[in-house]
Amino acid sequence: MSERKDDAMTRATHDIRFPRESGEYRAARNELLQAEAELRDKLEAVAALRRKLPFGGPAEDYVFDELVNGDVRQVKLSELFEDGKDSLILYSFMYGPEMEKPCPLCNSFLDGLDGYAPHISQRVNLAVVAKSPIDRTEQWAGLRGWNNLRLLSSNRNSYHADYFNEGPDGSQWPVCHVFVKTDEGVRHFWASELLYAPSEGHARHIDSLWPIWSFFDLTPEGRGKTWLPKLRY
């Protein structure tokens, strides 16, 4: 057994015992605890690799629409960076101009992100961009009670097509991108590219950002194979 695995087993050992648990339970739980510690280490290792990525290609200074105090204004990609915050997380909301309603999964994801947004924005810039006109997206946000998300529209630029947030037929894709401000301008840094890679079932490309699934994974039922979020219950 490797020294690293020995360290994981040591870290995963503790003296806590819950009321009336059996020896069989504790043995199985300790085995799972070791796996959980190894997963935590792997997540930290992947995050370290991600931080070491070289910058991607230079980004066009796209002009987005934004609704401010009831008026539509234009804002450039480079203007989405606040002083002291050099990273921008930009999520593509599946709500195209031809869609009657938004994607229920994106809707669920953004329900949660709206709550996290004030915390996330302490360290990095955060915005959500949809292909629908901005007034249409804002109307939906009002129905959902989203008060903390910075919403943008790419309806009048090529951002969605250029960064593969939509298919050739105009179908919308839920991609998360990270852009970084450098001395040479804005550069692309990372995208949730697992969406494009072969997979069995759901790509899980933003699972690490969407804790609803982690809650299900704690239970004997798991996340299941058929349940998906809805717009209304």
What is the reported pLDDT for 201? Answer: 73
What pLDDT does 200 receive? Answer: 75
pLDDT of 203: 82
The confidence score (pLDDT) of residue 34 equals 95
The helix (run of H) or strand (run of E) holding residue 67 is strand 63-68
Q: What is the pTM of this model?
A: 0.91
DSSP state of 103: -
**pLDDT for res 202:** 77
**pLDDT number for residue 7:** 62
Apex CA 123: angle with CA 122 and CA 129, to 5°? 85
**Helix H or strand E encompassing 212:** helix 212-217
CA 218 vs CA 10, 28, 60, 215, 223: distances in Å:
23, 15, 42, 5, 9
Task: Indicate the fold that domain 63-191 takes in CATH.
Answer: Glutaredoxin (3.40.30)
CA dihedral of 12, 17, 21, 27, whole degrees rounded to 10? 20
The reported pLDDT for the residue numbered 225 is 87
What confidence score (pLDDT) does residue 1 get? 43
Cα within 13 Å of Cα(6), Cβ side? 3
Write the CA distances from 128 to 64, 114, 226, 231, integer angstroms.
Answer: 11, 10, 27, 18
Mean pLDDT by runs of 10 across the 233 residues of the chain is: 55 90 96 95 97 98 97 98 98 97 97 98 98 98 98 98 96 97 97 91 87 94 92 94
Domain boundaries along the sequence of the chain: 1-12+21-52, 63-191
